[in-house]
Amino acid sequence: MTPPVIPLPYIGRNLLFLEEVLDELEARGITGPLLFRASEADKLARLLEHGTDRAGYPGERPWTDGPDQGRPIRHEDVIFATTADEIRRGERDPERSTSLKKFAVIERPLFVAHDARSFVKLCDRQYEARDPARKPAALLALFPVTRLDPIQGWFSEEAGLAYRALVRPLRGGAMVEVGSWKGLSTAYVGRLAASNGVALHCVDAWEGSSDEYAAHYRAMLAAEDVPGAFRANLEALGIRANVHRLASMEAAARFDDASLDLVFLDGSHDRAAVMADIEAWWPKLKPGAILAGHDHNEEHAGVMEAVARFTALAGRAVEVGGGSVWWTRR
């Protein structure tokens, strides 16, 4: 059976890419255990034929690395690979190599998923095929990578994954993101929302802010077509969103009450603006739906104050996760 070949975009955010790989595999009923390897796009045909990019070369090459030196192992029966958890841990350790970190030195990457049950671990990141004749069957999927420019923004990978985790359980319905800028936060949820059948609405007037960052935003807007960059980034990522170039209050008025499954707020960060956003969008949420936002930390005291004030009045608990993402339920 030929493994699926699934092109994916890559914006330099390794853990986002990993999550999208895992989602694509899960959608095809492939859930692991898994091993991942970084290869090169020009080795696609070799992988499809042999199940490994180390095979198909003339002559026999013995494996000469690690504790198994001296045991006759064919070079083509060994792969360097990492698990999903090893990739996640590697992102926290600058010295730790992983399959996704290899993208930095590969001009045209190809990401490869193998069935881990078909390999035995030799040592750290080195695996030998249990049955060399079954290497093609152990090849589960191939991901040709479209390398895109990083998207400028103030959204950490930790925040992006926390935001994505809020969107993941949604099935159908609609969500709104307030404050999209160039689309970095949108990149974390856009493709996931589409695969889950969730209509994504992005709200941004692209006119600056009312907080202490106002002058900085105005300078950036004067120097660059930011909404144009947002649309170009979403197009490159294959994300289709309903874009509302409006102020948050004006946009909220266009949605029916109890019509939304999630609203994510990342507009102005002063207390008055955050409170106004919360009050405008809260009635638009379905019962049990999620109101969430970014920058719930001491650097943005206005966000913390507004969230605490409103949720206390509404009798709702607030949770704060990675990257200072906060959320509560309607």
| pLDDT (0 to 100) of residue 66 | 66
Q: Which domains does the chain have, with CATH numbers?
A: 8-147 (no CATH), 157-329 (3.40.50.150)
| pLDDT (0 to 100) of residue 123 | 87
| pLDDT (0 to 100) of residue 242 | 98
Q: Which residue has the tokens 């202490």?
A: 212
Low-confidence ranges of the chain (pLDDT < 70): 58-60, 64-70
| pLDDT (0 to 100) of residue 68 | 62
| pLDDT (0 to 100) of residue 148 | 97
| pLDDT (0 to 100) of residue 75 | 84
- The residues, any chain, with a CB within 8 Å of residue 12's CB and separated by 6 or more, are 150
